[in-house]
Amino acid sequence: MTPMLETADTPPLISRRTTPPTWLVVALACAGQFLVVLDVSVVNVALPSMRADLGLSPSGLQWVVNAYAIAFAGFMLLGGRAGDLYGRKRMFLVGLGLFTLASLGGGLAQEGWQLLLARAAQGLGAAVLAPSTLTLLTAAVPEGPARARAIATWAAVGAGGGAAGGLVGGVLVDVLSWRWVLLINVPVGAVVLAGSARWLTESRAGDGRRLDLPGALLVTAGLGTLAYGISRTQEAGWTSAATLVPLLAGVLLIALFLLTEARTAAPLMPLGLLRRRAVASANAAMLVSGSAMFCMWYFMTLYAQNVLGYSPLEAGAALVPSSLAVVVGSKLAPRLMRAAGPRSVAVLGTLVAVAGFAWQSTMSAHEAYVTAIMCPGILMMLGGGLAMTPLAALATSGAASGEAGVVSGLINTSRTMGGSLGLAVMSTVAATGTGAGTDPQSLTDGYALAFRASAAVLLAGALLMLLWLPRRLPHK
């Protein structure tokens, strides 16, 4: 059995329970990560039903996804720091509890604003929970091949959660109602809570510093305001005051966040971390690739239902091969990393994803499943799975115990922040391609344009990785 990580200046935490098996810690951590990532995508197939039941506008649909993603990204670093200071197990339980309660509220929502508020609360719970999943895992498994395999499992489960969201959501919407894509989290969350309270061992790297709540509020407000400004371009255009004011305000808030972080004694995001090549380059790569990969499930499920006429269940089942591909890519990555190094694997995975996005951009309103969804989807997600593991390994390698939470939170923040802004941008791109039309061909033109833009973003990301990522994992 592997003991939990302890710092030299922190007394060992005393527990009456024996240290749990490493596999059990990994399983519980991965279960929490699965729920977090699942809820980014599980609502996609339910969006048409939510819109009809709650009267959401077409542009408002993206906020069902982005309300969660923005709160998730904005408070992720605060969640990571809270885990370092107050205990990773404690924050895991707090985050999972909030996430479960918010899921209940969302499932019972009677108005659109109630659903969006519940989704934001879910994102806040996920932001507290997610950093602890990776930190508990890395604390339980020593650095080396065993940790690489554990991270690969964590990445595969997380990616699989995003991929499985379509199928899970489709089954629940068809058999029950859209409400159950949220209510299903309640019994699952309760089971994971009980197991985690019983078996997880506490660890922390507390140093008495206070949490940087102003930093978390600034980055969340900045990200949300930027996304809102981008979404306004669909109706008002890029040069109108309704667009420019929130865009400029968002940039100002982000700049104020960076200034606050540079001046505060206990920053939410220590800017010194970004002086490390591995941390800075891996997070930049994750932000760029996340801005494209995050949109895939959103547009694929809308294309399947709005254009090809699939039911929610059929739309979810159509993405099962992609779900398997992302898991295969995540599990294959560690073997390739040993032979070729993390940079080469990250670049290779991104280029595979580029091929998938380019293929998907050739979609038509009347096309067979194999060429319309299955084959391009497999390429997109196989590439995403290959790239995610080396980027996560690079971003967390060589981190001191006191930095583990914030470094783990940073990689998740980069991916989700890129995804939320990317969804706002690509929704605008799709609306531009669609124009005023609402027929299947017009919708297809808009979705295709979004996939072409995503392919271009990923190609730029591959070049960034090639030029900036280290060849090998740095060590302490």
pTM, entire model? 0.79
> Is the distance from CB of 358 to CB of 380 less than 8 angstroms?
no
Kindly indicate the confidence band of residue 12, based on its pLDDT and cuts at 50, 70 and 90.
Answer: very low
Q: pLDDT by residue (tens digit) across 178-193?
A: 899 899 889 988 888 8
Mean pLDDT computed over 114-128: 90
Distance of alpha carbon 166 from its chain centroid, rounded?
15
Taking the domains of the chain in order of start, what are their residue ranges? Answer: 22-198+268-468, 213-267
pLDDT per residue as tens digits for the range 79-105: 777 777 777 778 888 889 999 999 999
In the prediction, which pLDDT does 18 show?
59
Q: What share of the chain is helix, strand, coil (3-state, %, to 5)?
A: 80, 0, 20
Residue 362's pLDDT is: 93
463: left (phi over 0), alpha (psi -120 to 50) or beta: alpha
Is 13 a residue whose pLDDT tops 60? no
Segment 295-302 mean pLDDT: 87
For range 254-282, the mean pLDDT: 83
Residue 206 has pLDDT above 60, yes or no: no
Query: Rounded distance, CA 181 to CA 168, Å?
Result: 8
| Per-residue confidence (pLDDT) for residue 402, from 0 to 100 | 59
Q: Give the best-scoring range by mean pLDDT among 17-26, 59-68, 369-378, 402-411.
A: 369-378
Return the C-alpha torsion angle 159, 162, 166, 169, nearest 10: 130
pLDDT for the residue numbered 359: 96
pLDDT band (50, 70, 90) for residue 264: confident
CATH fourth-level superfamily of 22-198+268-468 = MFS general substrate transporter like domains (1.20.1250.20)
Q: What is the pLDDT confidence band of residue 1, given thresholds at 50, 70 and 90?
A: very low
12 phi-psi bin (left φ>0, alpha ψ -120 to 50, beta other): beta
Mean pLDDT, rounded, of the chain? 82
Give the pLDDT confidence score for residue 103 in this predicted structure. Answer: 92
Which range has the top average pLDDT, 71-80, 128-137, 247-256? 247-256
Angle at 66 between CA 62 and CA 67, to 5 degrees: 115
15 has a pLDDT exceeding 60: no
Per-residue pLDDT of 134-154, as tens digits, reads: 777 766 666 667 667 777 777
- Alpha carbon distance 462, 164 (integer Å): 26
Crossing angle of helices 342-360/375-396, nearest 10°?
150
